[in-house]
């Protein structure tokens, strides 16, 4: 079939040198997590991924066919492709070649999208433009829930609408950490009974929270559930909760380890990204590598690493590495992902979790670290999908600037180009 597409344009991004064998099947699996926000299906299923090639030095070229050369969401798709496969084993450089679908191919892609909608109104209640971050750890006791709550709070304080799903069904702790209590309300829509998450205003933003803690008699109640029941409980939180179409982010506080819930969530939300939490101890880092391994095997992108409980600084200014040092950086290097934050060990974090006032709302060093983490997540690691308020001129300018930046990557002597924010 001969395509009437315009000449392809290449886009590339250099990555940390760690060349090795690149598995094209793994890359194709990772690209299933790239969703076309307009059509609501992944770019592999829609037939947009035409080719994936790599060389012995780890340079990967992905050929993408757009429904139209002037697709306004091209910049979003481009960024998602890079971030999804940039951290794959052996990849040192990512280049994207663009082409355009023929009329017949467009018709086929649209038919697939419509068929998917007809077969499943929504696999989950999570909107196509909501960014999902799974906060995971290899073991318990590393402060994963604390990081989830404080990160979500810091993001909401920036004016975002952020959901928190407490998927640690056995060890739920989010309600107390946020100072939220009471049963979840229910509504009926189109014959379905749905749960309404609790809402909490944080500055100009909003938190929406769902937890098993809102469904039991009290927080001391023991849930003696096995794998199938655990999976079903989390599935209800993803499918039967009114999260809202305006949700910018959903942070999922995962249970520790690599068990049934992790596999179930990865299947339900294949576009999710993973934030791995560890402590500075090298022993904890080695256990956390299992969470990274599970993310890879589930074709989920590891967006970054957070080292919690870093050095404690006393009133005299002396720092003490009470839980060791180097674990976060070692995990980041092993995962091929950035170390996004090192959260200091402070009493304010513990007391904030006990009183329902997250430390991120305070003025301590830990609060600053959580706010900095929110900044890097929103602007670099997992930026939101910005669709509202974008004009065609701004979108065209953003795409042109991205292409110019890619050309600069391929020719280091050229000055870099700053990408305007489409707002």
DSSP string, 131-155: EEEEEE-SSSSS-HHHHHHHHHHHH
Q: pTM of this prediction?
A: 0.68
The pLDDT, as a whole number, for residue 296 is 85
Residue-wise DSSP of 176-238? HHHT--SPPEEEEETTEEEEE-EEEEETTEEEEEEEGGGTSSSTT------HHHHHHHHHHHH
Q: Is 10 exposed, middle or buried (0-12, 13-18, 19+ CB in 10 A)?
A: middle
- The answer to whether residue 372 scores a pLDDT higher than 90 is yes
The pLDDT, as a whole number, for residue 20 is 59
Instruction: Answer whether 326's CB lies under 8 Å from 278's CB.
Output: no
Which residues, listed in sequence order, are joined to residue 49 by a DSSP beta bridge?
A: 64
273-278 and 301-310 as β-strands: parallel, antiparallel, unpaired?
parallel
In 3D, which of 155, 144, 171 has the Cα closest to residue 163? 155
SS3 assignment, position 273:
strand
* Residue bearing the bigger pLDDT, 394 or 236: 236
Residues contacting 326, CB < 8 A, separation 6+ = 280, 282, 285
59-66 and 10-14 as β-strands: parallel, antiparallel, unpaired?
unpaired
Tens of pLDDT, residue by residue over 54-99, are: 998 889 999 999 988 777 778 889 889 998 898 888 889 999 999 9
The pLDDT, as a whole number, for residue 16 is 45
Weakest-pLDDT range from 111-125, 181-195, 323-337 = 111-125
* Average pLDDT, integer, range 242-265: 89
The pLDDT, as a whole number, for residue 39 is 78
The pLDDT, as a whole number, for residue 418 is 40
* Residue bearing the bigger pLDDT, 116 or 395: 116
In 3D, which of 334, 335, 329, 362 has the Cα closest to residue 346? 362
* Average pLDDT, integer, range 305-319: 88
Weakest-pLDDT range from 303-317, 351-365, 397-411 = 397-411
In 3D, which of 99, 92, 10 has the Cα closest to residue 405? 10
The pLDDT, as a whole number, for residue 393 is 42
Instruction: Answer whether 319's CB lies under 8 Å from 70's CB.
Output: no
Tens of pLDDT, residue by residue over 119-143, are: 543 478 898 889 999 999 988 889 9
The pLDDT, as a whole number, for residue 358 is 97
The pLDDT, as a whole number, for residue 354 is 92
Which two three-digit tokens encode residue 289? 């590598």
């Amino acid at each position: 079939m001969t395509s009437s597409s315009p000449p392809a344009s290449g886009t590339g991004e250099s990555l940390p040198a760690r060349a090795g064998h690149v598995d094209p099947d793994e890359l194709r699996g990772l690209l299933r997590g790239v969703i076309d926000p307009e059509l609501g299906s992944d770019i592999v299923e829609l037939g947009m991924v035409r080719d994936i090639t790599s060389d012995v030095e780890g340079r990967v070229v992905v050929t993408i066919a757009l429904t139209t050369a002037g697709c306004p969401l091209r910049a979003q798709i481009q960024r998602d492709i890079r971030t999804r496969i940039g951290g794959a084993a052996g990849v040192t450089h990512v280049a994207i070649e663009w082409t355009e679908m023929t009329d017949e191919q467009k018709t086929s892609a649209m038919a697939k999208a419509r068929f998917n909608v007809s077969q499943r109104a929504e696999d989950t209640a999570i909107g196509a433009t909501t960014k999902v971050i799974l906060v995971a750890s290899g073991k318990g006791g590393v402060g994963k829930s604390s990081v989830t709550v404080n990160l979500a709070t810091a993001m909401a304080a920036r004016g975002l609408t952020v959901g928190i799903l407490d998927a640690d069904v056995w060890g739920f702790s989010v309600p107390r950490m946020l100072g939220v209590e009471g049963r979840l309300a229910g509504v009926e829509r189109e014959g379905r009974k749905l749960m309404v998450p609790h809402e909490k205003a944080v500055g100009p933003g909003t938190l929406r929270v769902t937890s098993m803690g809102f469904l039991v008699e009290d927080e001391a109640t023991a849930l003696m559930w096995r794998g199938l029941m655990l999976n079903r409980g989390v599935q209800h939180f993803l499918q039967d909760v009114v999260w809202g179409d305006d949700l910018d982010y959903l942070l999922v506080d995962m249970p520790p380890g690599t068990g049934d819930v992790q596999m179930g969530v990865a299947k339900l939300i294949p576009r999710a990204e993973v934030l791995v939490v560890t402590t500075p101890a090298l022993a904890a880092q080695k256990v956390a590598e299992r969470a990274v391994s599970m993310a890879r095997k589930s074709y989920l992108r590891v967006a970054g690493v957070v080292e919690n409980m870093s050095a404690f600084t006393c009133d005299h200014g002396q720092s003490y590495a009470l839980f060791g040092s180097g674990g976060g950086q070692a995990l980041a290097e092993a995962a091929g992902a950035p170390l996004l934050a090192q959260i200091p060990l402070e009493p304010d974090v513990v007391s904030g979790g006990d009183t329902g006032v997250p430390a991120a709302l305070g003025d301590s060093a830990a609060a600053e670290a959580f706010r900095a983490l929110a900044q890097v997540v929103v602007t670099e690691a997992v930026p939101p999908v910005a669709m509202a308020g974008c004009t065609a001129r701004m979108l065209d300018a953003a795409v042109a600037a991205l292409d110019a930046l890619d050309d600069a990557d391929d020719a280091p002597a050229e000055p870099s180009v700053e990408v305007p924010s489409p707002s």
